[in-house]
Chains A and B, each alone.
Chain A
Amino acid sequence: GAVVSQHPSRVICKSGTSVKIECRSLDFQATTMFWYRQFPKQSLMLMATSNEGSKATYEQGVEKDKFLINHASLTLSTLTVTSAHPEDSSFYICSARPSGSLSWEQYFGPGTRLTVT
């Protein structure tokens, strides 16, 4: 149980285009999902916390107009990187917290490798 999927697993896009990444909890409902970014040989950096039916909470330094998050259902959150640039190339990972669970629980997706050319 507690499986989280991400789609796509890899994406290459041209500079200036937008890319949408999906995060799904497959066998549980998740009121809260988290989006992280990880650069090579670095740790995960929390970008934003996504709550179903409300606006996402962004970490300091993360542009909310560039990284659009939509958590429209209890099993799906999407991250859209708008007007992507090469410096946005990174490994994006989502995690999901089961609804009603203890605050420490979260299950990670397999990640999405974004390359902007």
Chain B
Amino acid sequence: SQKIEQNSEALNIQEGKTATLTCNYTNYSPAYLQWYRQDPGRGPVFLLLIRENEKEKRKERLKVTFDTTLKQSLFHITASQPADSATYLCALAGGNQFYFGTGTSLTVIP
């Protein structure tokens, strides 16, 4: 069965620094990978999608990379702000189904 791991359960960084979150997967070859933000007690909000034939995607302060050889995606938030504090989930997709990682709780310290 597929296994999706996100680097750490919690990550604390100083405001203004770049946060880097990792998503590793096994036993799967996803057509694309997505990143979501989830605030406590709320549903996930879609942030970025990257396809298997893409190496990098950017959106404002967000950047995602996708290495299908390493079976890894990196999610970067540059110039981080306290408002970026949330749990970030990666999700693998293929066909009609999605599989979510365990999430990384990011805290940006002012």
Contact = CB atoms under 8 A, between A and B. Distances in A.
Interface of A: 4, 6, 32, 34, 36, 41-46, 49, 91, 93, 95, 103-104, 106-111, 113
Given A43-B101, A46-B99, A104 B42 contact: no
B93 interface: yes
B97 A49 contact: yes
B102 A42 contact: yes
Contacts of A42: 102
A77 B44 CA distance: 18
Contacts of A36: 100
Contacts of A34: 98
Contacts of A93: 43-44
Interface residues of B, number: 23
Contacts of B4: 43
A95 B43 CA distance: 9
Interface of B: 4, 9, 32, 34, 36, 41-46, 49, 89, 93, 95-103
A103 B96 contact: yes
A113 B41 contact: yes
A110 B49 contact: no
A64 to B, nearest CB: 17
B100 A44 contact: yes
